[in-house]
Structure 1
Amino acid sequence: MQLATFLLTLEDYMLPCLNKKLFGIDCPGCGLQRSVVLFLKGDFSAAFDMYPAIFTLIPLVMFAIASQFTRFRFDTHIKMTLGILSGSIIIVNYILKMTHLTH
């Protein structure tokens, strides 16, 4: 019950996109906060629709935190791979979003 209440109140504290407010267009990070909330609620398909990189960013963050406490073999390679994959997904998603907005 407390988790549900936390998730509902979390939506009330989301930061607005400064880029969208100033320039009227989405930034590459638009949708990330809502995607995290959807992910935490268990709505994985909606989280992916909102921000596809969520499924590479969450493992990247979790691995980065875990690697602060535990040594992993090839940890730098794993972080680099997840980072490049996440960045690539973010860029492709942003380009697709921007090209679909203009048509």
Structure 2
Amino acid sequence: MNLSLTIQALRLNDYMLPCLNKELLGLDCPGCGLQRSVSLLLNGELWAAFKMYPALFTLLPLFVVLISGEVFHMKYSNRLVIGLSIASVALILINYTIKLIL
């Protein structure tokens, strides 16, 4: 584990934003867990990050494709964006539904 990544992840934990939906209504929102999942990913805990927020692993490639599609004008970037967007939304909704049930 790289020491600089660990230090950055520790600093990230100090600046995490609270979920207003959870504070006001007592219910998780569809984005709850994203910040902690990124922190776990930076610490190298892939499985824990996936359990915390599974859509992270489709959102990261989605942003990479969006940015690289604009910079390099890739031919099939629209298909990748659509596919990754659908997968991300599906994972977010499934994860949110499971959180509500449990």
> TM-score scaled to structure 1, two decimals?
0.92
Match of 2:98 among 55, 78, 96: 96
Report the AA paired with residue 67 of structure 2: I
Structure 1 residue 4: deviation in Å? 2.1
1:85 counterpart (82, 87, 91):
87
- What CA distance in whole angstroms lies between the structure 2 residues aligned with 1:52 and 1:13? 22
Contact 2:5–2:43, Cα closer than 8 Å, also in 1: no
Deviation at 1:63, TM superposition (A): 1.3
CA distance in 1, matches of 2:97, 2:5: 35
SS in 2 for 1:72: coil
SS of aligned partner of 2:62: helix
Report how many aligned residue pairs link the two structures: 100
Q: Does 1:71 align with 2:73?
A: yes
Counterpart of 1:30? Answer: 32
2:43 to 41, 44, 49: 41
Q: Secondary structure at the match of 2:29?
A: coil
Partner of 2:52: 50
Q: Which runs of 4+ in 1 moved over 3 A?
A: none
